[in-house]
């Protein structure tokens, strides 16, 4: 993998972040000549060589010596080229680069650097107009967006296993540290899942935790050495470590204290923030309260996965009609969670627990999914053809293109000719099409509109 771009766009800064060291020298003076620097590192579960093509030139003779022989051969050999631009300025040198890089088009990833704030993020998407089909905004200096870039790099390079030993010179330990956080996100088995277990007092949260983390269950076993004090319990299931985060109302305190904690919605909000998936416990014999709705709205806003656990199912007569009745009632009360699975559960007797955990794993997988821009836009063209946007004399709505800007939470940006007054129902159609076609069936997704004339 090689990092390319004109001087001063932040290549060395990015290089250092990827290899987690201060090797190449970042220099604020443009045009400082450096030879390509290379380093072997581990990204995700792959070992790869990262090359910073460095100072390609003296600025005076820039266009002539744009691509020195050594840098050029580095590019020819690389599986992936990360082409870096600076969001704050696009220069003639950049355009020259774009022309020269055309021959490597299918190996090129566009990274727009110095995206240090949200306004610049929007500006970064303008770079799509240079003819790239996706863009990775990032701040090499602060780390934002680097994880997403790493994932894209990993998607593009051929699958190579990580060797047992990285090198013969005792470098292993260092290489371990070099792992960028994305390895936690990789699709491999064994990722951790953080659960926030929320619900009114007395719905059965402690009973469920005891069952999951207690020694008297067959499918789960306690994990030793839980250190973080925000973790209420952890256990393993299907080779994954599940952590139940410390959530309001779980601790064994006096009932009064516990109630007070529950009503501290802020605390519940905090645990939603920290979680991958929320299990919202509902006592099927009781109603729902305002707080449950606030929590539901927050889960959607934060784009977390959520399962509605209809607990104490053992107190009902278990028939298909019962399930339908309970489901209807919950759907009616939680319209914002229309996508969330509703699962019957008896924390006390243990029925429904494997299904609950399997569902949590599924949601987590959906949260991690990323659809590439090309695929999305092909689909968008089909959806528009099947059902064109409403047209009238005043408005001719046009959809330009769509891109997934993040996963976990899963967010898309849809560029349209005019956002103002864009028909909500059509946006809903697009959102549902994304859900159905790409399998984001049970998690909240957001599709934001942006103007692009
Ligand atoms: P290179 O010549 O392409 O290798 O660029 P460097 O990595 O040396 O960076 C050039 C300048 O841009 C340095 O002053 C960096 O500190 C600065 N820089 C790099 N990344 C960022 C970033 O994400 N945000 C901002 N604001 N500055 C950055
Ligand atoms: P928490 O306040 O949400 O932690 O709720 P607890 O776990 O303390 O449970 C409250 C009460 O509900 C206790 O008496 C539990 O035994 C009971 N309970 C919990 N889960 C179930 C269940 O699945 N079925 C039945 N029948 N009772 C349950």
**pLDDT tens digit sequence for 213-265:** 864 333 333 343 332 334 567 888 888 889 887 654 434 444 555 555 544 56
Per cent of the chain over pLDDT 90 is 34
User: Which residue among 101, 125, 156 closes a domain?
Assistant: 156
Same domain, 387 and 361: no
Q: Is pLDDT at 166 greater than 80 in this prediction?
A: no
- Give a yes or no: residue 168 inside a domain: no
Q: Is the pLDDT assigned to residue 186 strictly greater than 90?
A: no
Q: Which of 156, 186, 202 is the last residue before a domain boundary?
A: 156
**Cα(282)–Cα(356) distance, rounded to whole angstroms?**
14
Q: How confident is the model at residue 279 (pLDDT cuts 50, 70, 90)?
A: very high
Domain shared by 72 and 209, yes or no? no
As annotated, the binding site for GTP includes 5-12, 52-56, 113-116, 199-206, 246-250, 311-314
Q: Are residues 46 and 6 in the same domain?
A: yes
12 lines ligand 1 (CB under 6 A): yes
Q: Judge if the beta carbon of residue 29 lies within 6 A of ligand 1.
A: no
Find the 338 Cα to ligand 2 centroid distance in Å. Answer: 26
Per residue in 69-94, pLDDT (tens digit) is 666 677 777 889 999 999 999 988 88
Q: How many structural domains compose the chain?
A: 3
Residue 395, pLDDT above cutoff 50: yes
Q: Would the CA dihedral through 373, 379, 385, 389 be positive or negative?
A: negative
Q: The domain spanning residue 377 has which CATH number?
A: 3.30.300.20
Residues 230 and 326 occupy one common structural domain: yes
Q: Where residue 43 sits, what CATH number does that domain have? A: 3.40.50.300
pLDDT score of 111: 96
Residues 86 and 21 in one domain: yes
Q: 46 CB less than 6 Å from ligand 2?
A: no
CA distance 251 to 342: 25
ipTM: 0.57
Structure confidence by residue, pLDDT tens digits, 59-69: 445 444 545 56
Which of 318, 346, 367 is a domain's end point? 367
User: What is the pLDDT of the chain when averaged over all its residues?
Assistant: 78
Cα 342 to Cα 322: distance, rounded to the nearest angstrom: 13
Cβ neighbours for 313, distance < 8 A, ≥ 6 positions apart: 284, 344, 345, 346, 351, 352
167 found inside a domain: no
User: pLDDT band at residue 35, thresholds of 50, 70 and 90?
Assistant: low
* 394 vs 162, more confident: 394
Judge whether 140 lies within some domain.
yes
Looking at the DSSP bridge assignments, the partners of residue 2 are 51, 81
pLDDT in tens, 306-363: 999 999 999 998 788 888 999 998 998 888 899 999 999 999 999 999 999 999 999 9
CA of 128 to the centre of ligand 1 (A): 21
Confirm or reject: Cβ of 26 under 6 Å from ligand 1. yes
Q: Tell me, in angstroms, the distance from the centre of ligand 2 to residue 204's CA.
A: 4
26: CA distance to ligand 1 center in Å?
Answer: 7
Q: Which residues are annotated as a binding site?
A: 5-12, 52-56, 113-116, 199-206, 246-250, 311-314
Is 139 close to ligand 1, i.e. is its CB under 6 Å away? yes
CB-based burial, 9-44: b 16+ in 10 Å, e otherwise? bbbbbbbbbbbbeeebebeeeebbebebbbbebbbb
| Whole-angstrom distance, CA of residue 160 vs CA of residue 179 | 15
Q: How many CB atoms lie within 10 A of CB 266?
A: 8
Burial class (CB in 10 A: 0-12, 13-18, 19+), 129: exposed
Give the H/E segment covering residue 404: strand 399-406
Q: Is the CB of 363 under 6 A from ligand 1?
A: no
- Token pair of 265 as six digits: 């919605």
Asked whether residue 287 carries a pLDDT value surpassing 80, the answer given is no
Dist. CA 218–CA 72, nearest whole Å: 59
Distance 12 CA to ligand 1 centre (A): 7
- What mean pLDDT comes out for the span 26-55? 64
Q: Tens digit of pLDDT for each residue in 420-439?
A: 989 999 999 999 999 999 99
SS3 at position 261: helix
Predicted model pTM: 0.57
Whether residues 186 and 309 share a domain: the answer is yes
Q: Is residue 318 part of a domain?
A: yes
- Asked if 252 and 228 sit in the same domain, the reply is yes
Same domain, 207 and 332: yes
Comparing 29 with 405, the larger pLDDT belongs to 405
**Residue 59 in contact with ligand 1 by CB distance below 6 A:** no
Considering only CA atoms, which residue is closest to atom 19 of ligand 1? Answer: 10
Instruction: Residue 90: give the domain boundaries.
Output: 2-156
Locate tokens 């100072």: which residue?
A: 55
């Amino acid at each position: 993998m090689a990092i390319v771009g004109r001087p001063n766009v932040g290549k060395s800064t990015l290089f250092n972040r990827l290899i987690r060291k201060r090797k190449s020298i970042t220099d604020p003076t443009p045009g400082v000549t450096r030879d390509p620097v290379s380093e072997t590192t581990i990204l995700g579960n792959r070992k790869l060589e990262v090359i910073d093509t460095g100072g390609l030139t003296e600025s005076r003779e820039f266009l002539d010596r744009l691509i020195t022989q050594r840098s050029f051969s580095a590019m020819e050999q690389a599986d992936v080229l990360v082409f870096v631009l600076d969001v704050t300025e696009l220069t003639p040198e950049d355009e020259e680069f774009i022309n020269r890089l055309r021959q490597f088009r299918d190996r090129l990833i566009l990274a727009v650097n110095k995206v240090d704030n949200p306004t610049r993020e929007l500006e970064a998407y303008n770079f799509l107009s240079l003819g790239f089909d996706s863009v990775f905004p990032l701040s090499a200096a602060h780390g934002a967006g680097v994880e997403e870039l790493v994932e894209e790099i990993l998607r593009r390079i051929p699958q190579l296993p990580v060797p047992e030993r990285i090198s013969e010179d005792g470098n292993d330990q260092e290489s371990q540290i070099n792992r960028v956080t994305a390895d936690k996100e990789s699709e491999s088995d064994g990722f951790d899942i953080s659960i926030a277990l929320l619900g009114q007092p007395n719905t059965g949260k402690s009973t469920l935790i005891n069952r999951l983390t207690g020694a008297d269950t067959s499918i789960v076993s306690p994990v030793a050495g839980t250190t973080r004090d925000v973790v209420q319990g952890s256990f393993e299931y299907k080779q994954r470590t599940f952590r139940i985060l410390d959530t309001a109302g779980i601790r064994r305190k006096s009932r009064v204290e516990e109630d007070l904690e529950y009503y501290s919605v802020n605390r519940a909000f905090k645990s939603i923030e920290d979680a991958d998936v929320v299990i919202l416990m509902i006592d099927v014999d009781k109603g729902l309260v305002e707080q449950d709705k606030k929590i539901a709205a927050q889960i959607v806003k934060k784009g977390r996965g959520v399962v509605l656990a209809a607990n104490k199912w053992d107190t009902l007569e278990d028939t298909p009609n019962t399930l339908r009745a309970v489901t209807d009632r919950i759907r009616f009360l939680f319209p914002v969670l229309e996508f969330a699975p509703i699962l019957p559960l008896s924390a006390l007797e243990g029925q429904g627990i494997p299904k609950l955990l399997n569902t949590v794993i599924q949601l987590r997988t959906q949260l991690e999914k990323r659809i590439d821009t090309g695929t999305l836009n092909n689909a968008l063209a089909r959806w528009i053809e099947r059902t064109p946007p409403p047209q009238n004399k005043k408005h001719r709505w046009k959809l330009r293109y769509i891109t997934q800007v993040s996963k976990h939470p899963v967010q898309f940006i849809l560029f349209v000719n005019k956002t103002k007054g864009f028909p909500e129902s059509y946006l809903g159609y697009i959102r549902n099409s994304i859900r159905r076609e790409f399998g984001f069936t049970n998690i909240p997704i957001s599709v934001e509109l942006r103007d692009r004339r």
